[in-house]
Structure 1
Amino acid sequence: MRRAQERQFTTHDGSSLFYRHWPPLQAGGEARALLLLHRGHEHSGRLQHVVDELGLDGFAMFAWDARGHGRSPGVRGDSPGFAALVRDLEAFVTHVGDAYGIAPQDIALIGQSVGAVIAATWVHDYAPRLRCLVLTAPAFQVRLYVPLARPGLALMRRLFGNFFITSYVKARFLTHDPERVASYDTDPLITRSISARVLLELADAADRVVADAQAIRVPLQLLISGNDWVVHRQPQERFFERLGSPVRECHLLPGFLHDTLGERERKPALDAIRAFIERMFSAPPAADSLLQADRSGHTRDEELRLGQPLRRLSPRRWSFAATRLAMRTLGRLGEGIAIGLRSGFDSGSSLDHVYRNQARGRLLLGRLIDRGYLGSIGWRGVRVRREHLLAAIASAAERLRVAGQPLRVFDPAAGHGRYLVEALQALPERPQSLLLRDLDPANVAQAQVLLDAAGLADIARCETGNAFAEAELAALSPRPNLVTVSGLYELFSDNEVVAASLRGLAKASERGGYLIYTGQPWHPQLELIARTLTSHRGHQPWIMRRRTQAEIDELVRIAGFSKLAQWIDDWGMFSVSLARRD
């Protein structure tokens, strides 16, 4: 039996979470790690048998108690949201790298049930360069048994706020192992309840990950319990069918109940996991590139579908037509829609209105229309992205301050530059220089007005420029050590165009300087946008190709930057990443 060392790590929001660390039994084996995520209601102490029975003596092993579980703090069965649990995983992988010197490419991850959904969501949203991932009985769809339970829970939460649901699943429906049944029933650290917030957001995240499983590229093994009374099998099978991982395998385990790794006859499952992990570590990580994803792949196919007209008798065609008509008539009373119709819904002027988030329009009706427009999920996500941009800028500025370097900032497509000005005003020290560029002279003029009002005119200048002109970017003077690119690359499908921009920024940047870039790996309203909104580029339909996080990260990496950190909203729509110039 391997003895666990008990530790604490500080996660993304400052909370201190409990974890167990099992050092490798073989000397010098700390360079490889296996991370274990426990099932819902449980805790890391119940994974001791998995550590022992897997063997893998050359691996350091880690498992932590999810917040609200085991010996970690928080209301039992609750968290600030499901996305917080995903961020905890990101924080823990960072902690393993900082404290034990183990990089993601030397880590294997095993997630069980709810832990498997956390793991899959993290891999989808953050695109870590993980060596491999094992999912057992992922809770992509929990069996609630009550008709319309999910919409009913959502309605109750909207009316009454968060509340808790007690699980009545008996241990005998989890495993045939009598010892596991007895220990589950008597374990004082088992958490019997789960909050409606976590349960509903778990379901939303699972739907998104299953629908977009092609974005996951990590080598993956899926174990499905054949007689599972807790979660449905079909979403697991759909997930595997859509999976984008070049290396993948699926095992159906007949007769197994939900606690896959705690079943009485669990040896075949553990043998399959051990063999998979050993095989993944027996050779360097498989080469896998997404640089041609703009030419072929699921996001390219999606983009082409959005550009095709709908059938004449399609109900969706007439629904979108009615939306367009409403926007061009009554919708014009709202300022946001009026700006979008005039200059494009993806223009700097439109984005500035979204950032200000002040409902305006003609008459009371216009203000009500604008409030509904500004409250759409897409624009809410954009405003969260703004908050994350401020956090990323503060982080980069602090790193440069600690290194004793004056701050020199450049944005090649700043629009009105509002978020950047606000971020710089919040810093303890003023930048040495600030250069804002944009292709639209009207945006440049508005940015200059904003800089003058903010008292930054003495250190800043605004000018027209092409964010995709590699040679023009490479010739920047003074050379910046913080480059911010927000909401730009998402508007252009062609990877070579984006790669040219990044090459120019890499040549312009000082080594050790920082790049902040944004991405849009997911959006639930892509078709609505494509069929109702227009772009600033000739008032054409605003058709976007989603660029997965793995794809944009690869473009940044080949340009000469190393990714350090990432922020993403709770819906998984808009990411903000911080990278350092190599």
Structure 2
Amino acid sequence: MPADGDAPAPAVHFWGDHPATESDYYAAHGAEGEPSYFTTPDEGARRLFTRAWRPRAPARPKALVFMVHGYGNDISWTFQSTAVFLARSGFACFAADLPGHGRSHGLRAFVPDLDAAVADLLAFFRAVRAREEHAGLPCFLFGESMGGAICLLIHLRTPPEEWAGAVLVAPMCRISDRIRPPWPLPEILTFVARFAPTAAIVPTADLIEKSVKVPAKRVIAARNPVRYNGRPRLGTVVELLRATDELAKRLGEVTIPFLVVHGSADEVTDPEVSRALYEAAASKDKTIKIYDGMLHSLLFGELDENIERVRGDILAWLNEKCTLSTSLQRDITVE
């Protein structure tokens, strides 16, 4: 027991102290999984902290879902709630902490080269899908916020047949004019970043306050022991501006089937940008859902009934695509 005046010990898990272990929590929700590390195969040999969540054995998953978290976040706190939901619904999910995030290598929240981060994630995803037990399973991308932008970059850098589809949750696929630094600030930031790329000096609003609607859930989000709470680093901001500018120019090249979900009241990423993606994408199979009054954290920070609604839409979309993929494979086999 803490002495009078001492702060209580922080919770080990986002769900609290019970169940006491991750495996018990997974089992209680009809899933199983484990953490691990992945070492990239290139000359740099960077280590990524990874997690897997699967349907409980002996069930075979319907598909593989490769998940990417957002800026400053990680895969070990509230992000797990969606992965566990999908696992108990029949999908095997895999994710890695981005470089500079969570328990992966690198200076906290420093992402000077998003293309390198994309390459690291892609190496991990391809290593997972190459396993014998995953042969023939459709593969989906799933990204939240900055992770949505990364999913689109992965799609644009890989053969179209590699992915059965993508779920984009409040994606940062272009910096909105509403929040983009006005000219000439981007040019100034780019110049200064050449000399001090790791400097954490870019002013920003409290993302938890702007993202999470339910006050009690803001407290839980803030307790994340590996969440980055500092100001954005110059090099990271400049790289995000560069990468999202690239995406903005290439939205018409997007051909992957996708579902994009966004809250109409999101102040972190702009729902109008998601509408622009939907309108510009060349994808023949595309769906957009804008939820009235919801904020950025659609899958944790909202009222429970709102979360159930968004989860239900995502699950229905994934199940539909799995059915289509199975039918297509059956037709090919018959031919």
- Give TM-score scaled by structure 2 length: 0.78
Q: In structure 2, do the counterparts of structure 1 residues 145 and 126 end up closer, same or farther at CA, with 3 Å as the change threshold?
A: closer
The amino acid that maps onto 1:109 is L
Match of 1:33 in 2: 64
Distance 1:38 1:270, change over 3 A: same
Q: Distance in 1 between matches of 2:35 and 2:72?
A: 20
Alignment match of 1:62 (pick from 84, 94, 97): 94
How many angstroms apart in 2 are the aligned matches of 1:190 and 1:64? 14
Deviations 1:21-49 (A, max 9, x none): 11222524146211221121110012221
Q: CA deviation at 1:227?
A: 0.5
Q: Is the 8 A contact 2:55 2:87 kept in 1?
A: no
**Aligned partner letter, 1:152:** I
1:230 alignment partner, one of 268, 273, 289? 268
Please list, as runs of the form range in 1=range in 2, the aligned pairs for 1:123-522 lying within 5 A after superposition: 123-128=155-160, 129-139=162-172, 140-141=174-175, 144=179, 147-148=182-183, 149-164=185-200, 165=202, 167-193=204-230, 194-262=232-300, 263-264=302-303, 265-284=306-325
Pair 187,285 (structure 1): closer, same or farther in 2 beyond 3 Å = same
Q: Could you give the per-residue CA deviations for residues 335-384 of structure 1, whole angstroms, max 9, x where no partner exists?
A: xxxxxxxxxxxxxxxxxxxxxxxxxxxxxxxxxxxxxxxxxxxxxxxxxx
Q: CA deviation at 1:228?
A: 1.0
Q: Number of aligned pairs?
A: 287
**TM superposition shift of 1:87:** 0.9
Gap runs ≥5 in structure 2: 1-28, 329-335
Q: Name the SS for the 1:260 alignment partner.
A: coil
1:120 is aligned to 2:161: no
Provide closer, same or farther for how the CA distance between residues 137 and 41 of structure 1 changes in structure 2, counting only shifts above 3 A.
same
Distance 2:249 2:109 in 1: 27
Partner of 2:16: none
Amino acid at match of 1:22: W
Q: How far did 1:55 drift?
A: 5.5
Residue type of the alignment partner of 1:147:
P
Helix, strand or coil for the counterpart of 1:120? helix
Cα deviation, residue 274, structure 1: 0.4
Q: CA deviation at 1:233?
A: 2.9
Could you tell me how far 1:285 is from its partner in structure 2? 7.0
Q: 1:100 to 1:19 in 2, by over 3 A?
A: farther
Local SS of the residue matching 1:231: coil
Give the drift of 1:238. Answer: 1.6
CA distance in 1, matches of 2:33, 2:222: 23
2:55 partner SS? coil
Q: 1:223 to 1:54 in 2, by over 3 A?
A: same
* 2:37 aligned partner: 8
Taking the aligned partners of 1:126 and 1:201, their CA distance within structure 2 comes to 21
> How far 1:4 moved relative to its partner?
3.1
Distance 1:85 1:145 in 2: 23
| Aligned counterparts of 1:166 and 1:184: Cα–Cα separation in 2 | 21
Structure 1 residue 3: deviation in Å? 4.1
* Cα distance in 1 for residues equivalent to 2:187 and 2:138: 41
Q: Is 1:107 the equivalent of 2:139?
A: yes
Q: Partner residue of 2:26?
A: none
TM superposition shift of 1:105? 6.2
Could you tell me how far apart the structure 1 residues matched to 2:73 and 2:237 are? 15
The aligned residue for residue 468 of structure 1 is none
How far off its partner does 1:100 sit? Answer: 5.8
Partners of 1:267 and 1:30 in 2: CA distance: 22
SS at match of 1:200: helix
d(CA) in 2 for partners of 1:178, 1:67: 30
Preserved contact between residue 130 and residue 218 of structure 1 (Cα < 8 Å): yes
Structure 1 letter corresponding to 2:39: T
Q: Percent identity?
A: 23
How big is the shift at 1:209? Answer: 2.0
Q: Is the 8 A contact 1:54 1:271 kept in 2?
A: no
Instruction: Give the direction of change, closer, same or farther, for the CA distance of 1:144–1:156 in structure 2 (3 Å limit).
Output: farther
In the alignment, which residue of structure 1 is the partner of 2:75? 44
Q: Distance in 1 between matches of 2:240 and 2:133?
A: 31
Distance in 1 between residues matched to 2:220 and 2:132, nearest whole Å? 32
Please show how residues 522-541 of structure 1 align to structure 2 within 5 Å: none
Q: Report the aligned-residue RMSD.
A: 2.4
How much does 1:234 deviate?
2.9
Gaps in structure 1 of 5+ consecutive residues: 288-582
Q: Is the Cα contact below 8 Å between 1:211 and 1:239 reproduced in 2?
A: no
Larger Rg computed on CA atoms: 1
Question: Against the structure 1 CA distance between its residues 159 and 189, is the aligned structure 2 distance closer, same or farther, given a 3 Å change threshold?
Answer: closer
Q: Which residue of the partner structure matches residue 358 of structure 1? A: none
CA contact (8 A) 1:112 1:138 kept: yes
| CA shift in 2, pair 1:159/1:80, >3 Å | closer
Q: Which amino acid aligns with 1:267?
A: E
Q: For the structure 1 residues 286 and 29, does the alpha-carbon distance in structure 2 shift closer, same or farther, using more than 3 Å as the test?
A: closer
How many Å separate the matches in 2 of 1:15 and 1:242?
A: 36
Residue-by-residue CA offset, 1:142-200 (whole Å, 9 max, x unaligned): 66465334233113213544422364324231111334311221212101243322222
1:192 and 1:150 mapped to 2: Cα distance?
Answer: 22
Residue type matched to 1:225 in 2? G
